[in-house]
Structures are given as C-alpha cells and as structure tokens.
Amino acid sequence: MTGSLPYLPEKLKGLEELALDLRWSWSHDLDELWFRVSPELWPATRNPWLALRSAGRSTLDDLAADEAFLTGLREWTRGRAREYAAPAWFGRVHPQTALRSVAYFSMEYGLSEALPLYSGGLGVLAGDYLKAASDLGVPIVALGILYQQGYFRQTLDAQGNQREYYPVADPDDLPILPVRDRDGKIVRLSIAFPGRDVFVRAWHARVGRVSLYLLDANDPENSPQDRGITSQLYGGDSELRLQQEIILGIGGWRLLDALSIDADVCHLNEGHAAFVVLERARALTNRDRVPFDVALTATRPGTIFTTHTPVAAGFDQFHTGMVERYLGRYATEDLGITSEALLALGRGPGDDVFMPARLALRGSGAVNGVSRRHGEVSRQLFAGLFPRWPLDEVPVGYVTNGVHTPSWDSVAADRVWTQACGKDRWRDDLSEIERRIGTADADDLWGMRLLNRTRLVEFVRERLTRQLRENGAPPDRVEAAQHAFDPNALTIGFARRFATYKRPLLLLHDEARFVRLLTNRERPVQIVVAGKAHPQDDAGKALVRAWAQFVRRDDVFGRAAFLSDYDLQLAEELVRGVDLWLNTPQPPWEASGTSGMKVLVNGGLNFSELDGWWPEAYAPNRGWALGLDGEDASDDAAANALYERLENEILPAFYTLDASDVPGAWVDRMRASMAELAPQFSANRMLREYVQTYYLGAAEAVRRRTADHCAVAQDLLEWQRSLGNRWTGIRFEEARIESDGTSYRYEVRCRLGELDPASVAVELYADARGARTTERHAMERTEVLDGGVALYRTVLDSSRDAHDYTPRAIPRHADAIVPLEAAEIVWQR
C-alpha cells in the first residue's frame, strides 16, 4: 500500500502503513504516537492519515531524530506484522474449508469519523462486522460507496430546530488510496445508464486483515449530474437511489472481477445491493456459456441476504418503468432475458413496483433477520411470496446482531476485562469469558463505572459549552454549562435516529413527573439525549425540537442535555459513560437495536422495550423491561410504566449502598449483564454464527452447482420447470386413521398425476396449539398404484389428537432449497 504523502523521512516509513490501516479505529495503543505527529489535528479529527499528511517537515524531522519515538514505531510495526501473520480463529477452526472469500456488500460503513460513510445503525453494524472479521481472520472483502459528502452533519439553532450541513470530504485526506492495476493506472469501471456510460472509480481502505473497496462516480469524464450520483448517502430522490444501488451491486461485482477476486459467498447487508444477484449470474453466463436462468440457479445458494427492515414501507420501491429504463438494455444484451423477466424478479403478487428486497430474496439461498423477533416480523413481511405456507416456514431465519466490543469499551473497562479475561479475549470463541468476568470484584466494577461516568460528565460539559457558545447563549448560561451534571448521579443515555416509532418523547409524556425525577435531591437523575432526524422527516424534526426546548428549561438545565450531531465519537462517549441505556420503540418496529448492546462491555445496564434484541437478552437480574414481549402498549401506559420502574426499581437499586458504599444490587446486575450478555451480543459471536450457519454450507453448495458447467443447476432448473407444469395435478384422497390406543397408523392416497413420485414429499403437519409446538412428520411412500396414485403411511404416538394433523405435499429434490426455490404446496382439503 503506497500513499501520497508530501514528505516523510525514511526512518518514519512505517507510519504510512499504520496510518492507512483502520485498525487504529478500535485499537488505541498508538494514540500517543499520533498525538506526537499532530497535537492539533489528531484530537480534533481522530484521523492519523490526515495528521500525517498535514505534519510539517520540521515536526517529522524531529520525530525521525527521536530514538524513543522510533523505538516505539518499530515495536508497533513488528507487533502488527506478528499479529497478522499468526493463525486466527477461522484458520485454526476451519483449516480445510471450501470457503475462500466472502464478498460483503453494504450501502454504508461506520468505521470511524475519519471515514464518514454511514448514517446510523446499519452502517455501524457493517463497520463492526469488518472489525470482527479482522480479529477472527474470516476471509472477507467488503464493497461500498465513497460519498463525497456522506450523511449530513447536524446543528441546532437557538429555537432547537435541526439544521443540516454537508461538508465535502477530500479523498486525499481520508485513510484510503485509489485502486490501481498492475501498470499503476487507476481502476475505472463503466456502467451503462440510459443514453450514456457512467465511469466509476475504486478506492481501497484497509481494515486490519480485511479490504474494503469503495466505488465513486465523481470521475472527471462524467457529466456534472453523474458525478453527483455518489455525493450523499440517502440523499436525493428515488432515481438517485436506484443509480447508487446499481453502482453498488453491478459495479461492486465488476470490481471483484477486475481485481480477480473469486468470492464463493455474497452477503447482502440489506436489499440495497440486490443487483449483484444479476451481475454475479451474468459473469457466470460469460464464463460457462450457460443461459441466465441456469447461472442464477447455480449462484443462488452462494448468496446470503440479511434484511434489517421491520416494516413493509421501509423497503426501497422503484417504479417498474424507471427500472426498465435503466436496466432494460442490460437485461436483453447482457443477461439475455426480457425486461419483463428481470422486472418479475422484483415484483410482488398483484403490484407494479420493483423492490430490490424481493430480488435479493429470490436470488439468495438464505435470508435472515437481525434478531429472533425481527425474524418473526420478516416472515410476515415476505409471507405473500409463499402463499399457503405456514408463517413459521416462510424461509427467513435470524442471526441476532452483535457489536465489536473492543471498539466500544472504555480505558477503565478494558482494564477490568483484561485483568479477568486476558488481552485477546475477543479474538476467539469466547468460551471462558462468562466464567471469568463473572467473578470480577464489586469494588473494581463500581470503580470502573465512576471513572466512566466522570469522563462522560467532562465530555458533556465541554460539548454543551461549545454548543451554547455557537448559538450565542448568554454568558451566564455558558458558564453554568461548565458545571453541568454530577459525576455521582444516575446517568441515562438515549440516542437514536429521531423517528416517531422510536417514541423519543416518551420520557416527556408527563413533564412534571419527569422533572421531579431529574431534580430529586436525594436520588437525582440526569440524562444525555442525542439523535438526528432525516432531513425530509418533519415529524422527526419536531421531536428533536421538543427535546432541545425541554433541556433549555431553567429547572432542568444541567440535569438534561441534548448533544447535537450524533456521530461515532459521541456514541462512544455515551455508551462508555451512561449507567442506564433507554430504548422506547413501538413494537414490533425495532429490528435489532445495537445501541443498547454497546453499553454492556462498560457495565451499563439496559432499560428497554421488549423488542429487537432485548427479548433474547432480558432477565430481571441483568436489566429492566418496558412492557410485555411483543406488546404494543399505548403511550400513556408505556410512559407510566417507564416512570414507575424508574421510581420504584431502578433508582432504589442505584442509590441503596452497602457497608462499602457500593450499590450491591446494581453491581450484581452489572456483573450478570457483562458476563452473560456482552459475549452473546458481540460481533465475534455474530460473525462466527454467520460462518458456521451460512457461509461454510453456502460455499460448498455453490461449488457443487457451478461444477461441470453448472450440471447440477441445469438439472435442478429442469426439475423446477417440470414441477411448475405438473404440480396442479396433485390431489389428496381421503385419509385413513387406525388407533391401537398408544399410536396412530395414518394412511393417505395422493394422486400425483404426471409427477415423478420422487419429486414429491408427503408430510403430516400440525400447527402450534396451546402448549404444543408445530410438528412435521414425513410419510413413507409404500407403493405406487395405477393411474399415478401413490400410497403414503406413517405411525405417530397418540399424545396428540389425530385430527390435528393434515397431510400436505411439498416439492422434493436433493439440491433444492425449499420453499425458496420451489414454493409449491398442496394440502388435503
């Protein structure tokens, strides 16, 4: 990796490589080194590359003559090389795997403020995923977009109104480099848009062991309009969004081809990258000279689609006419199919809109939500694509999100964890963490909380003072901000995207009651609030304004603060410093809610609606629940429950001290939360689950289907066509049930028509009732009679009423993913 530094002494060459490796975004061992390079820029930007590029010759010459500095640089350079050379978890546990590479596609990545390519939770999750991949040595290459302006920066005016600004990022100042070919020429791709070709450049960011490639339409050869395609994240209209998604999906796979990266598995982080399904199949049609439908069938099991969307309205939707205008020529000339066939991949039953999420589902071998609850919600959202299938068999699983714990722990927390679990605790299977941290000393845990809370109070004072000065607040109010908050008071954090379903005003539902909590002299409460509303969401902006005006009240000033411009740096300070993380979404609209996971490593506790991840995590000994599991309570009821738990449970636990001046009940919850939840909801666990549940099998399946010029895929496609033409001929005849008192003998005749009996599986199905779970029992085909009739039998115990069971026929093929690839089903009437 070679940069473009204006000057760097030979003795400091190692600094360049360190500055371009975003490992510094979660490993802070080199912070002092970067401070030496630029005492002004480093604290302000946390961008080592910018600090290094901006350092003067005299500063660099002085450092090159400083033997202590050089010794530290050599040690860190060698240590980094040793770490990357050592076998990581993936190589040790899966040395013989067929999995060579996973291509991860995401519209946003939240890695560091030095590389602002995210808006919120989706991007931060993607950033944590890459960091965990580096720690574990999972062979991942990531694809995204380089935005010139990224997501907006937020300020609040004197009335509390949100104002949006879009500072332009100079790529030369970002810790990235242009991708060049073997001749040193910058790699450029061409993508056909209506009436012209759009050129896309590529950039490379190193995230430890992982490579992140970013695509950028700001090429001088493009028109001004096309150069702006990658200007803003989630900006513009639906046409701009479609253009960005084409660049990410089609351009991303073409870049992998250009770099000769052969990915076995594609992982789509949301439906934004769905067009990679088409381009991946197109590449195979060119390689093996097979039709598009064969190529799509061959590549399908190697694609994983993760959806984060909890409501149907949250999925991107494009008018089919616009999609045809952009991709009609691509369909006919590149894919060899009609425009209508392409559009059908993104259409739903009875509508005329194209949804990339549907394309992603139809082009993937596995689909998952991001929590157990979200998996249930997602099955409801996609149920229309699988008519007559029971809801629990709609093919959407779940892998609950996790956070990259080393990115979010404080210095004080790191000391506690290191003492209990060692330095490399998050780089393996986590099997010993719960036992070891579960014995941590109460005084050490409470001392950590005091240090973290004190650091947050200092940060709030500094940030609030700056905000007030920028808004022209009176000098006495600015002076008061410098003494705001109490290092010994219960500190609550609430920081989310401000949208109505997040219910950010629930705490303000009864302002007088909440003010009494904040101003109680015996058991005071203080709260830090942050969050952005989408620029086009007026309702969300009104919520921001309501909080901004509330914290300006004289009776709560210094106990409540709204900190503007919620970003990664602010998030880090909050999750490290707060005692209690509050989350109040309206169920079931919280897909996961990773913000609450980030406090776990720092000993923070959660007080959350039972939605997203919290139903999997909650127990009375490790946090508090607002509402009942899945219950959508009224705002009145939810707010009352919130106040009552604060008054009657949370505050007494925090302020009741034992003989050592430690709140024993609170610390017990801290210890349980840290031991039982921090490992479970870590990105380490999440990524290992993706590897073992999805990636390994996907790599094997796609190898099998693409071998011998896609022979298995061609056979499977012929089976699907035969099934579709003949399935309507299936009919069940009346079943016979015989009982001997302890078991049932169940026999049914099924008229298969022209179908090969080997293509049909017959089962007995009973749905969940009361305490009984769903049951599926395969029936054995005992004989085939004249006229295409087959006889099926099975024996069941008599613990359940025989009439609970219904015979059904579903497709059967050794290589088919049912019902993703064959959704036919027939029930006995």
Whether 617 shows a pLDDT value over 50: the answer reads yes
Same-domain check for residues 50 and 132: no
pLDDT confidence of residue 352: 86
Looking at the structure, do residues 299 and 363 belong to the same domain, yes or no? yes
In 3D space, the residue among 271, 253, 261, 284 whose CA is nearest the CA of residue 363 turns out to be 271
Residue 100 CB neighbours (<10 A): 13
In a domain, 158, yes or no: no
Beta strands in 72-217 (DSSP E): 102-106, 109-112, 115-117, 140-145, 153-156, 162-165, 177-178, 188-193, 196-207, 210-216
Q: Where are the alpha helices (DSSP H) in 8-88?
A: 13-19, 31-37, 41-45, 48-54, 57-64, 67-85
Per-residue pLDDT, 28: 84
Mean pLDDT of 486-502: 95
Indicate whether 409 belongs to any domain: no
User: CA 50, 56, 59 angle in degrees (round to 5)?
Assistant: 105
Asked if residue 239 has pLDDT above 80, the reply is yes
DSSP string, 538-577: HHHHHHHHHHHHHTTSTTTBTTEEE-SS--HHHHHHHHHH
Residue 254 amino acid letter:
R
- Same domain? For 814 and 698 the reply is no
For residue 202, list its beta bridge partners: 215
Say if residue 484 is in the same domain as residue 569. yes
Span 661-716, pLDDT tens digits: 999 999 999 999 999 999 999 999 999 999 999 999 999 999 999 999 999 999 99
Summarised one tens digit per residue, pLDDT across range 97-110 is 989 999 999 999 99
Domain containing 526 equals: 425-681
Model confidence at 630: pLDDT above 60: no
CATH of the domain at 227: 3.40.50.2000
pLDDT averaged over every residue in the chain: 95
- Tell which residue, 813, 807, 810, 811, has the closest CA to residue 829: 807
Distance CA 397, CA 385 (A): 16
For residue 559, name the pLDDT band (cuts at 50, 70, 90): very high
pLDDT tens track for 336-369? 999 999 999 999 888 889 999 999 999 999 999 9
H helices, E strands: number in the chain: 31, 31
Q: How many domains does the chain have?
A: 4
> What DSSP designation does 820 have?
T
Do residues 761 and 670 both lie within one domain? Answer: no
What Å distances lie between residue 25 and 175, 344, 455, 772, CA to CA? Answer: 11, 43, 19, 49
pLDDT at 632: 58
Q: For residue range 725-784, what is the model confidence (pLDDT) as tens digits?
A: 899 999 999 889 999 889 999 999 999 999 999 999 999 999 998 888 999 999 999 999
pLDDT in tens, 540-553: 999 999 999 999 99
Q: What would the mean pLDDT of 378-405 be, rounded to a whole number? A: 97
- Mark 683-716 as b/e (b = at least 16 C-beta within 10 Å): bbbbbbbbbeebbbbbbbbbbbbbeeebebbbbb
CA-to-CA distance for 467 and 478, rounded, in angstroms?
9
Contact 533, 498 (CB under 8 A): yes
Going by C-alpha positions, the residue among 134, 103, 364 that lies closest to residue 259 is 103
Residue 162 lies in a domain: no
How large is the greatest C-alpha to C-alpha distance in the chain, in angstroms?
96
Burial class (CB in 10 A: 0-12, 13-18, 19+), 248: buried
> How high is the pLDDT of residue 230?
97
Q: What is the mean pLDDT of residues 420-424?
A: 91
Check whether residue 583 and residue 646 sit in a common domain: yes
Residue 643 resides in a domain: yes
In-domain check, residue 504: yes
Over residues 798-824, the mean pLDDT reads: 95
Last residue of a domain, one of 85, 117, 135: 85
Query: Quick one: average pLDDT of 785-809?
Result: 92
Identify any residues that bridge with 489 across adjacent strands, giving them in sequence order.
Answer: none
- pTM of the predicted structure, to 2 decimals: 0.96
Does residue 712 sit within a domain? no
The answer to whether 103 and 266 have CB atoms below 8 angstroms apart is: yes
- 167 assigned to some structural domain: no
Taking residues 716-721, report their average pLDDT. Answer: 96
Same domain, 14 and 115: no
Band of pLDDT at residue 235, cut at 50, 70 and 90: confident
- The CATH number that applies at residue 815 is 2.60.40
Mean pLDDT for the stretch of residues 486-505: 95
Partners of 364 in the β-ladder: none
Do residue 375 and residue 465 come from a single domain? Answer: no
Pair (608, 489) in one structural domain: yes
| Same structural domain, 536 and 460 | yes
Answer yes or no: is 415 within a domain.
no
- Pairwise CA distance, residues 743 & 550, whole Å: 68
**Confidence band of 724 (pLDDT split at 50, 70, 90):** confident
Helical spans, DSSP H, in 207-331 = 224-227, 238-246, 252-258, 276-288, 292-299, 320-329
Q: Looking at the structure, do residues 654 and 520 belong to the same domain, yes or no?
A: yes
For residue 1, what pLDDT is reported?
46
* 316 and 281 part of one domain: yes
